[in-house]
Structure 1
Amino acid sequence: MSILISGLILFFAAHVVPMRPALRAGLRTKLGEMGYKAAFSLVSLTGFALIVYGYGEARMAGSPLLYDPPVWLRHVTMLVMVPVFVLLVAAYAPGGRIKAGVKHPMVLAVKIWAVAHLLANGDQASVLLFGAFLVWGIVDRISLKRRGDIGGAAIAVPSKSGDAIAILAGLALYAAFIVVLHEWLIGVPVV
């Protein structure tokens, strides 16, 4: 469990820096733009690798059960996950009303993903992992609002093609996760 916790601390330490504009500006000045991006990426990827390894290790060791969700919540989770993939693609698709309306589709996707997985997983490692991402998503959204970051709302002309890309690619990615990717990447079959 200590590897998972270390990974979460490292990952979120990197992701808190953008929430602190003065700290971020100081690091950019000290390291340069490319140095800042390299350091951010290195710390984030190291934290992410520790999260993945630590979560797998905790699951294999038999993480204590904090609550036992009913089986039907797994079906709810599968349904709630559909917009997550659309939002993930919308965050990077060109234009689109989804991005303009949601403002920060990636942050919303992370929060929905975390809640959905908390519905289906009651072991200590899962609660720690998904709970940490949910808390980060809430704090990040509040931070973005306070900083006046309007995200996707800054797009001048939302395009229907951006929405079509987000919906079609998001649904295709969702289907791929259901059929093969979740088991291949996470080690747990969805169905």
Structure 2
Amino acid sequence: MRLMGDVGHLIVSVAAFLGAHSLSNWKPLRAPIEARYGKQGFYLGYSVVSTALLVWVIAAALNSPTVVVWEQQPWMRWVPPLVMPVACLFWVLGLAQPNPFSIGLGGAGYDPARPGIVRLTRHPIIWGLGLWSGAHILPNGHLAGLLLFTPLFLLCLMGARILDAKRRRSLGEAHWRAMADLAIFEPHALLTELGWKRILGGLALYPVLLWLHPMVIGLSPLP
């Protein structure tokens, strides 16, 4: 009973997190909130709720019993340390500039002639979250780990397509396509527009997460 109760708690928390994401697109709920507080107010509130629910999911996973699905191999522990620096770059670069295509600071101030990280992907924050969750699936081959990371990874895979469809509708197909066509991948232009300060900021986030990981999760992330 204790086993099922702890796993059930994790399942409920994951369902609540995914449910909140689905409800954020439900017009009868979203429209009145945006009418009263504006889009920025809605996104701020959603970010707070989403973060709180993610903390709940992680706490429930940490308190769940260990039910092994596959045994961890030594090489699997190398996957997160190798992938996470790239995820950190996507997070910082995605939050450091306006982006009308995806989650982040919004589109105000976005310069289509200098798309920055959008030259690489329209959804840098989602890519970062996908890399984070995907990299943690292999070394966490237990039930709690799979219930935590697999839904988040799948949500990231679907999220880019969902956001593209939403932005096409809200921006208009012609305007969306015109901006997307300008965001051509050119390595030199990409590095110039990102700037070394942003790149170094993304890389600097990684050692901070390494330092916090044992205190928050209780385990060293290093092999």
Could you state the TM-score of these two structures normalised by the residue count of structure 2? 0.69
Cα distance in 2 for residues equivalent to 1:171 and 1:42: 25
5+ residue gaps in structure 2?
A: 1-6, 99-114, 169-175, 184-188
Quote the residue 1:71 is aligned against: 74
1:97 to 105, 116, 126: 116
Quote the residue 2:107 is aligned against: none
Structure 2 residue 147 is matched with structure 1 residue 128: yes
1:47 to 48, 53, 58: 53
Quote the residue 2:33 is aligned against: 28
Cα distance in 2 for residues equivalent to 1:24 and 1:153: 30
Q: Quick one: structure 1 residues 35 and 83, their matched pair in 2 at CA, closer, same or farther if it must change by over 3 Å?
A: closer
Identity of aligned residues (%): 24
Would the aligned equivalents of 1:118 and 1:126 in 2 still touch at CA under 8 Å? yes
Could you state the TM-score of these two structures normalised by the residue count of structure 1? 0.80
Displacement of 1:30: 6.8
Would the aligned equivalents of 1:7 and 1:51 in 2 still touch at CA under 8 Å? yes
Cα distance in 2 for residues equivalent to 1:26 and 1:122: 41
Quote the residue 1:13 is aligned against: 19
Amino acid at match of 1:165: K
1:150-161 residue pairs with structure 2 within 5 A? 160=192
Cα distance in 1 for residues equivalent to 2:97 and 2:41: 28
Would the aligned equivalents of 1:77 and 1:116 in 2 still touch at CA under 8 Å? yes
Structure with greater proportional helix content = 1
Structure 2 residue 219 is matched with structure 1 residue 188: yes
Q: What is the alpha-carbon root mean square deviation over aligned residues?
A: 3.0
Quote the residue 2:201 is aligned against: 169
Displacement of 1:125: 0.5
Displacement of 1:13: 1.9
Quote the residue 2:156 is aligned against: 137
Cα distance in 2 for residues equivalent to 1:68 and 1:163: 42
Displacement of 1:110: 0.9
Q: Quick one: structure 1 residues 101 and 108, their matched pair in 2 at CA, closer, same or farther if it must change by over 3 Å?
A: same
* Bigger Cα Rg: 2
Displacement of 1:5: 2.0
Cα distance in 1 for residues equivalent to 2:209 and 2:44: 30
- Which SS does the other structure have where 2:138 is aligned? helix
Q: Which segment is superposed worse, 81-90 or 152-161?
A: 152-161
Q: Which segment is superposed worse, 91-100 or 124-133?
A: 91-100
Cα distance in 2 for residues equivalent to 1:135 and 1:44: 17
5+ residue gaps in structure 1?
A: none
Displacement of 1:83: 0.4
Amino acid at match of 2:151: A
Q: Quick one: structure 1 residues 158 and 70, their matched pair in 2 at CA, closer, same or farther if it must change by over 3 Å?
A: closer
Runs (4+) off by over 6 Å = 154-159
Amino acid at match of 2:137: L
